[in-house]
Structure 1
Amino acid sequence: MSRLWVVVFPAGGWGPAAAVPSPRSSVGGRPDGLLELESSDPHNIVRLILPQATTPAARNRQAADTLHDWLSEGILAPDPIPGLYVYEQRDGDILQRGIISALRLSAPDEGVVLPHEDVMPHVVEDRAALMRATAANLEPLLLTYRGEDTPGATTSGSAGGPGTGTGTGTAAVIERAAQHKPLLSTTTEDGFSHRLWAVTDPAEIAEIQSDLARHQALIADGHHRWATYLRLRAEHTSPGPWDFGLVLLVDTCRYPLRVRAIHRYLHRLPVAEALSALGDSFRVRTLRCPLPEARAALADAASEGNAFLLAGDGSYHLVDRPSPDILARTVPLGRPEAWRTLDATVLHATLLDHIWRIPDNPEHIAYIHHTEATVEKAEREGGTAVLMHPVREEVVRDLARQGVTMPRKSTSFGPKPATGLVLRDLAF
C-alpha cells in the first residue's frame, strides 16, 4: 500500500479566512440555504463556491474575480509560515478534531484513499471548471482513518474528554495544540463552534506525516471534489501544486462520525401512484403518527431488512419486506452480499429502475439531507419523499476496501467541515 502523504501549506498559501464561513449542511442540504447565506454578508464564502450568474462561464469568472478582490482587500490573508492546521468542531456533546492539510493525490488502484460512492461526470466537470478559474482548493474533503484506540483516547465523540494529550503521533499533536489559544474561533449558524490552531513546528509536522503514512483513508464527504482533484492533476505538469488536494483527516477511533441517510424526493411521482405500483412486491403499512414515531418504526424495520418510508400525502407509509423473487430479478449479481442488501441498492435497482421506472437525473430525483425538508417539499409539491435509514460506517469501509462503490448519495457523514475557514492556493 502506498503512503498517505500529508504535506504542509507553504508560506504564501491562504490560511484561516476572514471571509464568513458556512456550514456545508446549509450550503447544500437545505432548499433556502444558498440565498440566505449569500444575502447575510458580502464576504460569505458561498460567493466563491456557488457564485450566481447566468452561465457556467460567467459564474466561474465571477468567483475568480471575487477571490482576487478578497485577496486585494485583505479579506483572505496568506500564511506567514508553512504549516498544518488542527481543526475542532463542537456542538453540545459532539466533539470532532482532525488535521487540515494538503494530501498527495493517489491513483485508485493504490488503495490509499478509498472512495465508496460513484460520481456524476457533469458535476466533476462543473467543479473542475471552477477550480481552473480560481486556481484554488476552496473547501476540504472529509477523510477518515482508523488510528490506534490508545488509553485516554476519546472513543465516544463526546465533548467531555478529548484524551490526555500525552504520547506521540497525530492524536498527541492534536491534543497538545488544543490546550493553547486558537488561531481562529467562530460559530456558524447551525450552532457548531469551530476552532483552528496552526502546527508549524517541523518536529510535530514530521510526527504527523510519519503517523498518517501508515493509514488508509476513507472519503466520508467529497467524492466529486476528489474526482476533480484527479482530473486536474492529469491536466498539469508534475511535480507541482496540482499533485495535492485540500483535506480534513479525522481519526474515527477517537472521534466517531455520525452517519446519516440522504433522502430522495421524486418530483413527478405522487404517493398514491408510488404505492399502487408496489403491488405485492413489498409489505406496506400506513402510519398515522408524527414524524419521529414514523422514523422509529423505520429504524425497527430496517434492523430486519430493507425498509423505506414514503411521505407526501399527509401520512407515512412504511415499505419493507421485499419479496425474494423481485430482489432476485432486479438486484445485480456479481457483487458482495453486503452491497446487494443495501437499502440504497434495493431502492435504485428494484424500486426506481424496475417498479417506478424513474431515471436518476435532477429532473426526476432530488437528493435532500434534511428529513423534515424532504417531507415538506413532497407535501407542498405533490411528489413522493422516500426517507432512508442510515448505513453503518463499518459497512461502508468494508465495501470500499473491496473496491466496491455504493449507489451515489448513499450516506452522509458528519459533522462536515465548515466551508471557508481554510483555502489552498494552487497558483504559487
Structure 2
Amino acid sequence: MTTSGPAGQGLRLIPFHGLRYVPERVGSLAAVTSPPYDVVVRPDGLNHLESADPHNIVRLILPQAATPDARNEQAARTLADWLAEGVLHADPEPALYVYEQRRDGMVQRGVIGALALSPAEAGIVLPHEDVMPHVVTDRAGLMRATSANLEPLLLTYPGEGAHTGAAAVIEAVADREPLLSTTTEDGFHHRLWALTDPAELAAVTGDLAHRQALIADGHHRWATYLRLQSEQTGPSPWDYGLVLLVDTTQYPLQVRAIHRMLRRLPVADALAALAGSFRVQQVEGPLETAMTALAGAAAGGNAFLVTGDGTFHLVTDPDPELIERTVRTDRPEAWRRLDATVLHATLLDHLWHVPDEPEHIAYIHDTAATVEMAERNGGTAVLMHPVREEVVRDLARQGVTMPRKSTSFGPKPATGLVLRALD
C-alpha cells in the first residue's frame, strides 16, 4: 500500500484537551477501563466491568436502559455527573498523546489525536470492511447525546524507520515519565504521555500529513464520525474524530478472526443443511486442538469450525458450482475466496437462511466465549481462521471492502484512558 494520500494530501492530526479519569476519584485506573464496546461479551463481560468500579467506562459506552433514547440519555447524564464530581477532568493544555501497550515481550506504541475527517473516497483513510447501518445509528445516537468521542479508532500506516518523523518522537517520549501507568486484568501494561512541545508536535503532524491510513479497528465508529460530520452546517468539532495511529513498520499488528454465534440455528440443523455442498468431518477436541485442525485446513481453502453441542466439525471443500452461483462475480477473486464472503453468501444466505441481524447473529472476538454462548443458548458457533494482513491491505488499496466483521486487528487500545469532549 502506498503511504501518501492523493494529490499530496494526507492525515491531519491535531492536539486536543484530553478528558481523563482523576486517579484519586476512582478505585484504580485499571478498574475503570474496558475493551472497545464491540469486544465486551454480553452479558457476563458487561456485568463484570460494571461491578469492577462504579465509574467504569462501560457505563458510558454501553449504558443499560430499556430503549436507545433512554440509554443515550443515561450516558449523557452519567458523563455530566462525572465531570461535575471531578471523576473526569480535561487536561489544561491541548496535546497529542503517545500510548504504549506491553505484554509478554510485545510492545506497541502509537499516537492519539483528533483526526480531520475525510470521506473514504478521498483515499486518505482506507476502510476494509462493510458496516451494519443499525450499529452506526446506535453509535451516532450515543455520540450526539454525550457530545464526545468515548474511545479511539485504531488506524495503521507504514512508516519509514525509528529515527525519522513521528516514529523518532514517539520513541523519545517513551523514555520520559508517563502521565499514567496501569496494568489491566488481561495482563497488558498501559502507559500514556502528553505531547505538547511545539517542535515535537510539528514533527509528528508534518510526518503524518503525507500519509494515508488503514482502519484496523473501528469501521462503525468511522462511519459514525462521517455521519455526524455530515449533519453539521459549517465548521465544527465534529470535523474531527478520536484515533490511535500505529506505525506498523515499527509495531506490526496481530490479525485475528471474529467468530459468529447463530442464536436460532441448532448444530444438528446446521450440519444437515451442508450435506452435498461442503465436506464435513468431525475432529477431536478440546477447543485448542480443534482450532489447530482449522488452521491446517484453512491453508488449503475455505474452512470453518462448527460447534455448540460439545463436538467439533470441520467444514471445508465447498462445491465449486455452488460458490459460482451464490457468490457475486463483480469483485476480485481474492474477495470471492474469503472465508467471510463464502460464509455470508453461501452458508448464511443460501444454505442456512440466517438473516444478518442482531437477533440472529452475534459477532464475538473471543473463541471460547463464542463456544460457551452457543452451548448455553442451543445455537451454533461458527469459528473462523484469520485473514492474512496482506490480503486486507491489498483489497483496501483496490477500494474493495470485505464482509463486515471479517478481521480483528490487535492489540486494541484500552477504552477509558483518554476521551475527547466536543463541547
TM-score bracket for the superposition, by shorter chain length: over 0.9
Q: Partner residue of 1:160? A: none
Q: Which residue, out of 13, 16, 19, partners 1:14?
A: 19
Q: Which residue, out of 247, 250, 258, partners 1:262?
A: 258
Q: Partner residue of 2:145? A: 133
18-27 or 74-83, which moves further after superposition? 18-27
Q: Partner residue of 2:216? A: 220
Contact 1:310 1:316 in 2 (8 A): yes
Contact 1:313 1:379 in 2 (8 A): yes
* Secondary structure in structure 1 of the residue aligned to 2:108: strand
Q: Which residue, out of 5, 13, 21, partners 2:12?
A: 5
Residue 15 of structure 1, CA deviation: 4.3
Contact 1:124 1:227 in 2 (8 A): yes
Hey, what's the Cα distance between the residues in 2 that align with 1:376 and 1:50? Answer: 22
In the alignment, structure 1 residue 115 sits paired with structure 2 residue 127: yes
Q: Residue 324 of structure 1 aligns to which amino acid in structure 2?
A: P
Q: Partner residue of 1:80? A: 92
Residue 31 of structure 1, CA deviation: 4.3
Aligned 1:17-416 pairs, distance under 5 A: 18=23, 20-24=32-36, 28-29=40-41, 31-148=43-160, 150=161, 153=162, 167-416=163-412
Q: Residue 278 of structure 1 aligns to which amino acid in structure 2?
A: L
Residue 379 of structure 1, CA deviation: 2.1
CA offsets 1:38-86 (integer angstroms, 9 cap, x no match):
1221111111111112222222111111111111121111112121000
Distance 1:42 1:122, change over 3 A: same
Contact 1:16 1:184 in 2 (8 A): no
Distance 1:285 1:253, change over 3 A: same
Hey, what's the Cα distance between the residues in 1 that align with 2:358 and 2:38? Answer: 19
Distance 1:410 1:131, change over 3 A: same
* Secondary structure in structure 1 of the residue aligned to 2:190: strand
Hey, what's the Cα distance between the residues in 1 that align with 2:50 and 2:20? Answer: 22
CA offsets 1:324-353 (integer angstroms, 9 cap, x no match):
111111111010111000000000011111
Distance 1:171 1:17, change over 3 A: farther
Hey, what's the Cα distance between the residues in 1 that align with 2:189 and 2:35? Answer: 10
* Secondary structure in structure 1 of the residue aligned to 2:304: strand
Hey, what's the Cα distance between the residues in 2 that align with 1:412 and 1:30? Answer: 18
State the superposition RMSD in angstroms: 1.5
User: 4+ residue runs of structure 1 moved beyond 3 angstroms?
Assistant: 15-19
* Secondary structure in structure 1 of the residue aligned to 2:19: coil
Hey, what's the Cα distance between the residues in 1 that align with 2:47 and 2:210? Answer: 43
- The total of aligned residue pairs comes to 409
- How high is the sequence identity, in percent, across the aligned residues? 71
Residue 27 of structure 1, CA deviation: 5.3
- TM-score normalised over the length of structure 1: 0.92
Contact 2:22 2:86 in 1 (8 A): no
Hey, what's the Cα distance between the residues in 2 that align with 1:16 and 1:200? Answer: 19
* Secondary structure in structure 2 of the residue aligned to 1:14: strand
Hey, what's the Cα distance between the residues in 2 that align with 1:425 and 1:48? Answer: 13
Hey, what's the Cα distance between the residues in 1 that align with 2:385 and 2:241? Answer: 32
Residue 314 of structure 1, CA deviation: 1.6
Distance 1:31 1:300, change over 3 A: farther
Hey, what's the Cα distance between the residues in 1 that align with 2:183 and 2:328? Answer: 46
Contact 2:39 2:364 in 1 (8 A): no
- TM-score normalised over the length of structure 2: 0.94
Distance 1:27 1:309, change over 3 A: closer
Hey, what's the Cα distance between the residues in 1 that align with 2:170 and 2:69? Answer: 41
Hey, what's the Cα distance between the residues in 1 that align with 2:207 and 2:79? Answer: 35
Distance 1:86 1:17, change over 3 A: farther
26-35 or 198-207, which moves further after superposition? 26-35
Q: Which runs of 5+ in 2 are unaligned?
A: 1-5, 27-31
Residue 94 of structure 1, CA deviation: 1.9
Hey, what's the Cα distance between the residues in 2 that align with 1:380 and 1:387? Answer: 16
Hey, what's the Cα distance between the residues in 2 that align with 1:86 and 1:112? Answer: 22
Hey, what's the Cα distance between the residues in 1 that align with 2:421 and 2:275? Answer: 56
Contact 2:155 2:216 in 1 (8 A): yes
Hey, what's the Cα distance between the residues in 2 that align with 1:209 and 1:408? Answer: 31
Q: Which runs of 5+ in 1 are unaligned?
A: 154-166
Residue 168 of structure 1, CA deviation: 2.9
Residue 113 of structure 1, CA deviation: 0.5
Q: Partner residue of 2:3? A: none
* Secondary structure in structure 2 of the residue aligned to 1:313: coil
Residue 197 of structure 1, CA deviation: 0.6
